Chains A and B, each alone.
Chain A
């Protein structure tokens, strides 16, 4: 692992009211040494706009409202249109049926976290996915952050 700080954008997908999970993740990722931007509730276009502005490595969205497939798909469709899918790591977490994990991955999410996932698993997943993406784009992990 290099020294470069991983920058993560976290958001509540849409109008979902439940935010303890995403706040716990935000705290966990900052304790693990990542730079976290938490934007609260946001629509898919708003999330991508901030992701671009902030130049993040990872976009993590939380959804416990049942809208993970509808909003998840609109987020990933937009991300693909804007050419962000290969550039950033996309993660989703929340309450949804385990059967939906595969569908979310087909949409383009790099990982989907169900209830009960530990912080350690999330941190490890982020490290390994960011390493892969940076290797693919030939960008060293310890780059200067912009």
Chain B
């Protein structure tokens, strides 16, 4: 962003202040409510409650927004029904992106799956689908996420852990064996732009080799610079500008060649879980969205065309009403940004579509079964907030990857919400609550304020380069830790109502044995049977493309076709782009 450009907040202020607003409550009614309120306040409310009328709930990774004792029309006196809330499926989308919401399309039950070898994960995927999961969400192991091959010395001891290992297109084939790629929607949790370029290329080559046209594939990749440059701990980082360009290049390629694929998932989740407030989570993701659109518009795309497949990914945690309000707030704010900053006309481009995962850091090791209750409340808030898809964390995740039993329980939690509670029959059931509406407006205001802070730093990428975001996060999570340790944030069985000190021996997941050896052997076989000249040529073409700062996806596809491995491709990125050192957090 250059100095003479207006910030998003300034643009919205300008556009919105000139609008004529029609207040829902008449001045006479408000006046009478005010009079009665004063009378009630001084007669029925005790002195202590009058003094602490506003109190701030201290919750895990919360916003610190103070709450009143009781909300009334006076909390939101100039509410304009049509401008602020309206109807579902139309502007400003506060109440939901579809007119009929869950009556029309149920939220997708998309549980994360990934551990061990591609065959192990394939079996778990089938198990989840057989039990009613409606989407796939594939998580990779640490070496795959960090773009090292299973036989790299750095990967030793970690192959197949906390995700599935994928080194080449052959592993991708085993992972999706018997899964009709064009029938289920597949979320490929390729966190970073770099590994999206690599892993999604392998996925596309797999589809190609199975004879499935790319335009029939539906699903999403993450492809998020925040994940690669801000949230991640890694030994090697490419520079943020290159990373951001790869993110935009991936979008451009996918938009053109895989038209039904969601090419970016702006990830607030991992940022918040890393240790940011519920507000910063959304401000950073939206700032990335804004800068990404600016970049793509400068390449000649129209916002209505390129803006229609951005998706967001949020963490939903303990503060129940705040979480509902936040999802509503960010839906309205994204709409305003698309409408007034980018002048979008296509309603799809104004949708804040999202996936929610329940908060993992809110789960504790003490009395792990309590986590079932926590995650169920998180999930309920996500659905009341109008999410499009959901993953419910399992109660044993503070111990290890979920067991099959725990993973099934998470899926059942979703199915119980969907089938038994009745909450999906009515759209935005909390809309109109004096409290929820006031909190929604407050959340929206605070998210926009933090976007403004980032834009004044020079924008999203600049705020990463300068270390501003790293510092903000570090000071927030240090304070979180202090509050938890002092018991200011109250956590049952951890710092209040503590019982037996001994942690229970729950049945924990143990990784399958021998994955690393099998994977190494498979790689050795691959390296000795593939056409090494073709491999070298593909890698060298990729290197040249990186140096020319060209879109690398077509070259990654050629590498995948030639059976290049993930580690080989990442090595090329490092050589061509050089390495960057992120700012220290402490």
Contacts and interface: CB of A to CB of B under 8 A. Distances in A.
A42 B146 CA distance: 13
Contacts of B481: 24, 28, 119
B308 to A, nearest CB: 31
B366 interface: yes
A142 interface: no
Nearest to B233: A19
B274 interface: yes
A74 B365 contact: no
A95 B399 contact: yes
A15 B234 contact: yes
Nearest to A43: B154
B313 to A, nearest CB: 16
A17 B400 contact: no
Nearest to B360: A95
Interface residues of B, number: 41
A99 B156 contact: no
Contact residues of B: prevailing secondary structure? loop
A30 B586 CA distance: 10
Contacts of A17: 142, 145-146, 231-234
A15 B485 contact: no
B474 interface: yes
Interface string B223-248: 00000000111110000000000000
A66 B154 contact: no
Interface string A1-45: 000000000001011111110111011101000000010111100
A65 B223 CA distance: 21
Interface string A60-86: 000011110011001000000000000
B451 to A, nearest CB: 23
A146 interface: no
Contact of B157 (A71, A114, A116): A71
A27 B146 CA distance: 25
Given A71-B156, A97-B508, A120-B485, A66 B233 contact: no
A116 B365 contact: yes
A2 B364 CA distance: 36
Contact of B233 (A12, A28, A74, A116): A12
A38 B234 CA distance: 13
A12 B494 CA distance: 26
B482 to A, nearest CB: 9
Nearest to A20: B275
Interface string B314-344: 0000000000000000000000000000000
A140 interface: no
B398 A98 contact: no
Nearest to B364: A116
A14 B364 contact: no
A27 B586 contact: yes
A14 B485 contact: no
A6 B398 CA distance: 31
Interface string B161-192: 11000000000000000000000000000000
A55 to B, nearest CB: 22
Interface string B133-166: 0000000001101101000011111100110000
Contacts of A40: 233-235
Contact of B477 (A15, A16, A20, A120): A20
Interface string B184-212: 00000000000000000000000000000
B407 to A, nearest CB: 15
A99 B399 CA distance: 10
B490 to A, nearest CB: 14
B377 interface: no
A64 B161 CA distance: 10
A15 B160 CA distance: 12
A95 B400 contact: yes
B511 interface: yes
B474 A115 contact: no
A118 interface: yes
A20 B231 CA distance: 9
B392 interface: no
A38 B583 CA distance: 13
Contacts of B505: 98-99
Interface string B556-586: 0000000000000000000000000000111
A67 B365 contact: no
A140 B155 CA distance: 40
B471 to A, nearest CB: 12
A40 B364 CA distance: 25
B478 interface: yes
Interface string A93-117: 0011111000000000000001110
B153 A15 contact: no
B401 interface: yes
Contacts of A19: 233, 585
Nearest to B232: A17
Nearest to B505: A99
B400 A14 contact: no
B234 A66 contact: no
Given A24-B481, A41-B235, A96-B400, A67 B585 contact: no
A66 B235 contact: no
A64 B399 CA distance: 9
Contact of A74 (B157, B478, B585, B586): B157
Interface string B360-374: 000011100000000
Nearest to B270: A17
B38 interface: no
B157 A97 contact: no
B156 A74 contact: yes
A20 B474 CA distance: 8
A114 B368 CA distance: 13
24 contacts: A14-B158, A16-B158, A17-B231, A20-B275, A20-B477, A23-B586, A26-B586, A28-B481, A38-B586, A40-B233, A40-B234, A41-B235, A43-B156, A64-B162, A65-B161, A66-B400, A66-B511, A67-B142, A70-B157, A74-B157, A98-B365, A114-B503, A115-B365, A118-B485
Report the 9 A-B pairs with minimum CB-CB distance, sorted nearest first: A70-B157, A19-B233, A66-B161, A98-B503, A41-B235, A27-B586, A67-B158, A15-B146, A97-B508
Interface of A: 12, 14-20, 22-24, 26-28, 30, 38, 40-43, 64-67, 70-71, 74, 95-99, 114-116, 118-120
Given A41-B235, A114-B365, 11 more contacts: A17-B142, A17-B232, A19-B585, A65-B161, A65-B162, A67-B158, A67-B161, A74-B157, A97-B399, A97-B400, A119-B481
